[in-house]
Structure 1
Amino acid sequence: MKWFKRIIIALFSLALLGVGAIAAAYFYVLPDLPDVNTLKTVKLQTPLRVFSSDGKLISQFGEKRRIPVAFEDVPPLLIDAVLDTEDARFFEHHGIDPIGITRAAFILITTGKKSQGASTITQQVARGFFLSREKTYIRKIKEIFLAIKIEKALSKEQILELYLNRSFLGNRAYGVGAAAQVYYGKELDQLTLPEMAMIAGLPQAPSAANPIRNPSRAMNRRNWVLSRMLEKQSINKTQYTEASQTPITAKYHGAEINLYAPYISEMARDYLVDKLGEDEAYTGGYNIYTTIDSRLQVFAQEALRDNVFAYDERHGYRGPTKILWTETPLDNAVIITKLKQTRAFQGMVPVAVISIDEQSAQVLTPDGEELTIEWQGLNWARKYITNKRQSKAPKKADQILTPGEQVWIRNNGDIWQLSQVPKVSSAIVSLDPNNGAIRTLVGGFSFHTSQYNRVTQAKRQLGSNIKPFIYTAAIDKGYTLATLINNAPINKPDTRQGTAWRPKNSPDKYTGPTRLKMGLAQSINVMAVRAIRYATLDTAIETLIKFGFDPADLPKNESVALGSPSVTPLQVVTAFSVFANGGYKVEPFFIDRIEDAYGDIIEKSNPTLACAPPAAEVPEPAIEVDPFASMAQELAPAPISLEDPDNICGDSDSRFAPQIISEQTAFLITDALKSVIWGGGNWSKRTGWNGTAWRASRVVKRHDIAGKTGTTNESRDTWFSGFNPNLTTTVWVGFDDHGQELGRTSWNANGARDQISAAEAGAKTAGPAWNEFMKNALAGQPEVPSSPPEGIVSVRIDLATGKLSRKTDYTSKFEYFVSGTEPTEFATEAEESNNIFIEDSTEDLFQ
């Protein structure tokens, strides 16, 4: 009994000592314990994601890959895998596991080694959010007390949700949602049992047991997880056997990008970084939904890329990128290693030429595949001499390639084709003219080779793309589409530039008095200069400023009539939208809304609407704003249709675009711009004539499109801008080095019958991209009928004089006029017999 009493007293003393030690430890670490209630509102570091308007992921920014998931969205089997592996008694203990602590203490006493097996999931949450991973006793004590406090503050489900979203699982993946995407490219609910077991086994050794870096060790860890699940009866024997025999299928998956649109994603990133700073922008879990239409964006990217390739290839082949060997061929393994040092992009693959036949070549790819390039994929490659000269068309493959060369190839339809990295640049941008939403934006041929965004940053001379705005000023001053303007050399020069400036047509051909519509459709230079003289230079510049062009970019001389101002494609597409929407200057914008990590909208666009405000509303004066920051807190109404019978839209919270020209003027200019595409006259009577963009009529094949070509001196910049009532698009093609000319090409005997040749110009260089894009973008949409607005009348005029005509044959036509400006005098018989027509307009005649 004496010994028994001593034992009881000793145990009681030890218990008191233990309680005292715990109390002492608690009060010792208490000042350093954080407030666990912050976990209720914890903000997980989640990357910035950028989406298209239809929810396609465009890009993701941030060092940590995390896809937060709610507890109820985690598959029960994955929860079982995690608990059976990490903390089987999670739902039974109160933050610490006495059995686990006892086991860890026993291992420490018997082996002298510290064990990590005692940490519960709650303790791991405490360590992950508040503590370091250093293995010290004081950290362990803090961890225990924090775990107890966490259990009191949060539910078990909330704790487990934090753990599942916080854990680092290798390859920059934080949380099970990101791990499912990184390793398997799947959503959580798509994972199989062995995949869930693999992820559940990663928290303790995310690098050592990584299935990508160490698949054999990862398999052992996965199978151990499966054995624990079998032991805890979460799965049966059959499931265990089948899952444990499944091979490792994990491989790295980048962010699941659904739409590659780097220029617009970079604009979105810049906006949020400027607004919130890098740390908050990259970790706050924000989702930016842009106005980009994914379907149209793909069409735009393809149109630009194909057009750039077409320009580059018709100017000739510049030769190989490298010489891998000259006489003694290298082993395939060595060749493949060298090829893998060059990254494929824009559909182009680096290959090595290994042999040549008479009209074909065999090449080796970086994947070790041997391909044959047939003559159809080689025959374009006549030698490049300069931008203006090419050699004769080749007849054999050895005139083009030599074994040992490293070259580019690309898949062009059904064939592999020799290719090269283009040197020319281009840009394309489209927007909705009804509200200014940017639907497509491609700032260059390849973001990989140049991050310079030519849509928003490149100011280039506008050329004849400016003429619709010059004629707008003239029509507002009193001209009509039937006004005769003398297409004759200008003898009175403009001396404002310090020298006598005498503009000429291109080519130097003149036809005498010509109707304004034909002058615009055929881009006749001297007629545009006479139009600006009629409107006055000051009035023309004021008109250009109203359309959104910067006054600083507008020279104070008559060269402005032929496009000497330098502007960005975004400014141009915005200005052309005025014609498309009936005279309203909308503000372009590219961000529809921004959501935080919880899905709450923190910013929403409130676009300017191209319509008249409700009758009771008085529109506020227009304020110039940054087109990329025009986002307000108020919710924007859905885009409206310009077919509204009263042309009234929006409500008291809406913003309305200022009407800078009348609906009637917009209609008349649009009608003239349709002639740019469809021409006029009667071909059967030899009076037909082409507009400068006649190719668009053959490709797009719609009558609700209008547009204008543009070419600068020496073809340094080429443009095509055009629209239908729902979409406005501008394309620019040129060299980033403004000193380079786009040049000209000679006829290629190996080329197609409809090949482009002679001098580069807006219709031939930028036009094909616009044509191809608009054809695809508008496919399946019914044509929008053209309805003259109130105040427009139609009268039959004599084509030679622009006066009224009593005839109904090919010498006359109906023309539109603003009511009160229509001619009142009939053409005499003598005048009618002196008709002036251009009987044939070659494709290269006008710019």
Structure 2
Amino acid sequence: MLKWLIRLFIFGLFLSFCAIAGVFVLYQQVKPELPDVSELKDIRLETPMRIFSQDGELISQYGEQRRTPIAIEDMPPMLIDAVLATEDARFYEHPGIDVIGISRAAVVWFTTGEKRQGASTITQQVARNFFLTREKTITRKIKEIFLAMHIESLLSKDEILALYLNKIALGHRSHGVGAAAQVYYGKEVADLTLAEVAMIAGLPQGPSVLNPISNPTRAAERRAVVLGRMLDTGKISRVQYNDAMAAPVAARYHGAEITLSAPYIAEMAHQFALSMFGEDAYTKGLKVYTTVQSEEQQAGTQALVDGLLAYDLRHGYRGATEQLWQGAPWSNEQITEHLASLPSYWPLEPAVVTAVAARSATVQVKNKGELTLAWDGLKWARPYIADNRQGHALRQAKDAVAVGDLIWVRPQGEQWMLAQLPEINGALAALDPNNGAITSLVGGFNFTLNKFNRAQQAERQMGSNIKPFIYSAALDNGFSLASMVNDAPINHWDPGTRKSWRPRNSPNVYDGPMRVREALARSKNVVSIRLLQGTGIPIALQRLNDLGFDTANIPATDSLALGSPSATPLQMATGYAAFANGGKKVTPFVVQRIEDSNGIILYEAEPMVTQVISEETSFLISEALNSAIWGGSSRGRHWNGTGWRAGKALNRQDIAGKTGTTNESRDAWFSGFTPDRVASAWVGFDDFGRPLGRTAYNANLDGSQVAGGEFGASTALPIWIGYMKAALAEFPERDRPMPSGLYTATIDPNTGLKTTGKGITEYFVPGTEPKYYSRPETSQSFGGTSVTDDLF
């Protein structure tokens, strides 16, 4: 008996030696193919690029994988317990491999021929996730075992677990528990309930088929398994188990935690980062800080949306989007399901009319339930007939809506009102004029609806927004703000076309000789043409070129003075910045700095500023554009500038600006500035040939409504005012200091000549001041001649 025991012992030693030798041989065979796991010491998890406002609000996130790395000490113990109970209960005891599990998997393979995944510890999963594929082969499994053992010798258990919890794929492009908590529940991991923790802990085995969004039934079954193992291992009590089991599967998809809506800004910053870092920008965890402040960006967005909706409201209601039923009405469940499938376009929400009374309507609104549209929310909706024609004022609700209508609604204070998606569009671009940093930019009514960035890409005719540039060239070539130019009709015969060119003012009044300051403030077209003729087209084109406008394709004709060239709102704001900052051309930029995932600055903006206009000329144009806001006096009466509404709304003396409207009102502009902000607002149809039209007075609305033609002053200026009200709140009013190269003189406002009597103060560059004094008998008034033109 002893002899057989000795032989059995020797045989066992032999088998052990063979096993060790076999393992050694296997190791030698796969060793050349094993990666260097030491890089795990300095591993940098792939994280998406995030775009922030200057004050740290998240604007957007770019990257295929969503990941939010979390240190192990910040992981909730409950989450760690759930993962270990489900994936690797002996994680803190084993050396990286589970011998019993491997043996069990080997028996299954020898007896059935099936290569099942099982027996992988968390360390083995880390090895596979970072270095290997998921193919089920013996070779891959052997490599996985050796790598796991090497990892265990290199890293602590907590370090291994942290890598696992931050790397593992958990469905819907979320990688790691931090991202999964946000994607499924919109929470930080520390805020998850036990039921939510168990749901996430059950995902690693099958994230595509076990997640609660794609398959809530299977997800609930998997959650029960996790909770059962936590109960068996003593990590939770029976009461906790029962409560978590009873919790509903309430997961839904949550996007990135966007705290500031600025999609056009986000895309500009995204493209900039992509140009610098290529495709690596999506995985390096870049933090891109833009130049916009959240409050200013919100103000710009609100101002543009309000302005476009106001235009749309006064032009009439185009009717329901669709009639959902003709016979039997839909059930509440059918309506809810249909609304859930439709998009929302802030601030508009889809709704279905379920009842109509004499002067109200009941509607079911997406995600809001049943609401009432009172008469105040309906009475605006007279029929739209054409862009320049509306139907009669509404008398009762049924004239606008019917049961079964699919409509749009939006908040109106505490109530809701009938709305519609506007066909009109627009843009706003605002800068810090001193360095070119973009402070607010909105490229259209809604980015989801249409991603075309009109602020940066839509080249539209400038209209009278061009005049300050023409006037600045004139001031550099012998004219002054007191120079008298004849505001009288022009009839120019063109022998080439054998046609007469008759540019006209708008409104249809000519006032005879007037000062340059007044002509710019009142946007006199024929004066602008005469100044261009007196200066020379080449000089004017050079001024536009110096300010950053592309002049290569601009026809060298007198129509230049009326705004025939095209520009984007961002280009226009950049041009006007030179009048706000003392004559310097700035280069607009949207990215302030870029940091890596560790906070190291990889890029920081260096503003480009170049002097292109004299400080004196810049000051003089600013003065004239200030008169466009506050008006002036001449010929014995006070006159308003075209931007007088801005003065009334903002009540600041340091604002300046210019309206602009193109032929047949296809484009409406307002560009203006203070020493601290410059902004340009544009409104128009994406269809270049569609005029903005006209509106008649709506008897149902109050007396403050806009009626008549759509022009820069009535259509674009309210948007500019809406933004500036918020943007200037932190900037106290301040005077522009007069440059040392100017001096002042008292002039007669009717003649532009010096006077020793009662007059007004004007600024002059030495050599441009009037040479003579005005005599009282020479002062005179000039009558008007009626002509029509829409270019102002």
Shorter-chain TM-score: which interval? Answer: over 0.9
- Return closer, same or farther for 1:363/1:770 CA change in 2, 3 Å cut-off: same
**CA–CA distance in 1 between the matches of 2:77 and 2:370?**
48
Which residue of the partner structure matches residue 773 of structure 1?
Answer: 723
Specify whether residues 493 and 793 from structure 1 end up closer, same or farther in structure 2 by C-alpha distance, changes over 3 A only: farther
CA distance in 2, matches of 1:334, 1:126: 50
- Residue 566 of structure 1 is matched in structure 2 by 566
The question of 1:478 aligning with 2:449 is answered no
Unaligned runs of 5+ in 1: 609-656
Q: Distance in 2 between matches of 1:83 and 1:291?
A: 45
Match of 1:676 in 2: 628
Q: Is the aligned partner of 1:813 residue 2:760? A: yes
Q: Please name the residue that 1:723 is paired with.
A: 673
Does residue 168 (structure 1) correspond to residue 118 (structure 2)? The answer is no
Quickly say closer, same or farther: Cα 1:823–1:756, change in 2 above 3 A. Answer: same
3-state SS of 1:173 partner: coil
Partner of 2:435: 435
| Structure 2: distance between partners of 1:105 and 1:56 | 53
The alpha carbon displacement at 1:185 in A equals 1.8
C-alpha spacing 1:390/1:725, structure 2 compared with 1 (3 Å) = same
User: Retained in 2: the 8 A contact 1:362–1:373?
Assistant: yes
- Count of residue correspondences: 788
Does the Cα contact within 8 Å between 1:48 and 1:285 map onto a contact in 2?
Answer: yes
Pair 1:760-2:760 in alignment: no
Q: Is the 8 A contact 1:95 1:120 kept in 2?
A: yes
| Separation (CA, whole Å) in 2 of partners of 1:699 and 1:785 | 19
User: 2:581 maps to which residue?
Assistant: 581
Correspondence for 1:182: 183
Q: What's the counterpart of residue 667 of structure 1? A: 619
Secondary structure of residue in 2 paired with 1:364: strand
How far 1:342 moved relative to its partner?
A: 2.8
Query: What residue number does 1:709 align with?
Result: 659
Give me the TM-score of the superposition, normalised by structure 2.
0.93
Structure 1 partner of 2:426? 426
Correspondence for 1:649: none
Aligned counterparts of 2:385 and 2:219: Cα–Cα separation in 1: 58
Return the offset for 1:160.
2.2
How many angstroms apart in 2 are the aligned matches of 1:727 and 1:493?
43
C-alpha contact 1:494 1:557 (8 A) present in aligned 2: no
Residues 1:828 and 2:755 are matched in the alignment: no
Query: Match of 2:575, as an amino acid?
Result: A
State the Cα distance separating 1:290 from its structure 2 match.
1.6
Given that 2:675 and 2:736 are in contact with CA atoms closer than 8 Å, whether structure 1 keeps it comes out as no
Shift of 1:148: 1.5
Q: Deviations over 1:502-528 (max 9, x none)?
A: 211113311111111110010000111
Q: Distance in 2 between matches of 1:232 and 1:411?
A: 53
Within 5 Å, give how 1:159-238 maps onto structure 2: 159-215=160-216, 218=219, 221-222=222-223, 225=226
Aligned to 2:735: 785
Q: Summarize the alignment of residues 479-518 of structure 1 with structure 2, pairs less than 5 Å apart.
A: 479-493=479-493, 499-518=499-518
Superposed displacement of residue 154, structure 1: 3.3
2:272 maps to 1:271: yes
Q: In structure 2, which of residues 741, 749, 753 is the aligned counterpart of residue 799 of structure 1?
A: 749
Q: Aligned residue for 1:63?
A: 64
Match of 2:700 among 750, 754, 759: 750
Query: Which one-letter code corresponds to 1:357 in the other structure?
Result: A
Q: Distance in 2 between matches of 1:183 and 1:368?
A: 22
Tell me the secondary structure at the aligned position of residue 66 of structure 1: coil
Cα distance in 1 for residues equivalent to 2:497 and 2:288? 48
Deviations 1:92-111 (A, max 9, x none): 43322345545666788999
CA distance in 2, matches of 1:319, 1:236: 59
- What amino acid maps onto 1:595 in structure 2? E
Cα distance in 1, alignment partners of residues 722 and 366 from structure 2 = 32
What is residue 634 of structure 1 aligned with on the other side? none
Partners of 2:500 and 2:599 in 1: CA distance: 63
Could you say if the C-alpha distance between residues 501 and 780 of structure 1 is closer, same or farther in structure 2, counting changes exceeding 3 Å? Answer: same
Q: What code does the residue aligned with 1:180 have? A: A
Q: What is the CA-CA distance between 1:133 and the residue it aligns to?
A: 2.6
Contact 2:682–2:716, Cα closer than 8 Å, also in 1:
yes
**Bigger mean CA offset, 464-473 vs 444-453:** 444-453
Q: Indicate the residue corresponding to 1:614 in structure 2.
A: none
Correspondence for 2:456? 456
Q: Judge which range, 81-90 or 369-378, deviates more.
A: 81-90
Q: How far apart in 2 are the matches of 1:507 and 1:392?
A: 28
Percent identical among aligned pairs is 51
Change (3 A) 1:404 1:528: same
Contact 2:115 2:137 in 1 (8 A): no
Post-superposition offset of 1:402: 2.5
1:141 aligns to 2:93 (yes or no): no
**d(CA) in 1 for partners of 2:434, 2:783:** 38
Q: 1:144 to 1:353 in 2, by over 3 A?
A: same
Structure 2 counterparts to residues 103-502 of structure 1, below 5 A: 118-215=119-216, 218=219, 221-222=222-223, 225=226, 248-278=249-279, 280-367=280-367, 369-493=369-493, 499-502=499-502
Distance, in Å, in 2 between the alignment partners of 1:790 and 1:541 is 28
Task: State the one-letter code of the partner of 1:822.
Answer: E
Q: CA deviation at 1:739?
A: 1.0
Q: Name the residue aligned to 1:78.
A: 79
Partner of 1:20: 21
Q: 1:508 to 1:349 in 2, by over 3 A?
A: same
Q: Which amino acid in 2 is paired with 1:814?
A: T
Aligned partners of 2:491 and 2:500 also within 8 Å: no
User: Helix, strand or coil for the counterpart of 2:586?
Assistant: coil
Take 1:256 and 1:560, find their aligned partners in 2: how far apart are those partners? 48
Tell me by how many angstroms 1:39 deviates: 2.9
Deviations 1:565-606 (A, max 9, x none): 011111111000000111100111111122233433222211
User: What are the Cα deviations for residues 624-660 of structure 1, in whole angstroms up to 9, with x where unaligned?
Assistant: xxxxxxxxxxxxxxxxxxxxxxxxxxxxxxxxx2111
Deviations, residues 519-540 of structure 1 (Å, cap 9, x unaligned): 0010000111111112111111
1:200-234 per-position Cα deviation (integer Å, ceiling 9, x unaligned): 33323434543444556545655654565566666
Secondary structure of the structure 2 residue equivalent to 1:552: coil
Q: Is the 8 A contact 1:692 1:846 kept in 2?
A: no
TM-score by length of 1: 0.87
Sort the Cα spacing of 1:249 and 1:408 in 2 relative to 1 into closer, same or farther, 3 A: closer
1:143, distance to aligned residue in structure 2 (A): 0.9
> More deviation in 99-108 or 588-597?
99-108
Shift of 1:236: 7.0
Cα displacement string for residues 713-735 of structure 1 (whole angstroms, at most 9, x for unaligned residues)? 11111110011111110011111
Letter of the 1:262 counterpart: P
Do 2:436 and 2:589's aligned partners in 1 also have CA atoms closer than 8 Å?
A: yes
Post-superposition offset of 1:198: 3.7
Q: Which amino acid aligns with 1:744?
A: R
Q: Secondary structure at the match of 2:455?
A: coil
Q: State the shift of 1:405 in Å.
A: 2.2
CA–CA distance in 1 between the matches of 2:628 and 2:702?
Answer: 25
Q: Structure 1 residues 353, 251: CA separation in 2 closer, same or farther (over 3 Å shift)?
A: closer
Distance, in Å, in 2 between the alignment partners of 1:191 and 1:354 is: 39
Deviation at 1:688, TM superposition (A): 1.4
Once superposed, what is the RMSD of the aligned Cα atoms?
Answer: 2.8
Alignment of 1:687 onto 2:637: yes
1:638 paired residue number: none
Residues 304 and 445, structure 1, Cα contact 8 Å, conserved in 2: yes
Using the TM superposition, give the Cα deviation of residue 363 of structure 1 relative to its aligned residue in structure 2, in angstroms: 2.1
Indicate the residue corresponding to 1:623 in structure 2.
none
Letter of the 1:474 counterpart: A
User: 1:766: Cα distance to partner?
Assistant: 0.8
Q: CA deviation at 1:194?
A: 4.7
- Counterpart CA distance in 2 for 1:249 and 1:421 is 32
Distance 1:252 1:517 in 2: 59
Amino acid at match of 1:804: K
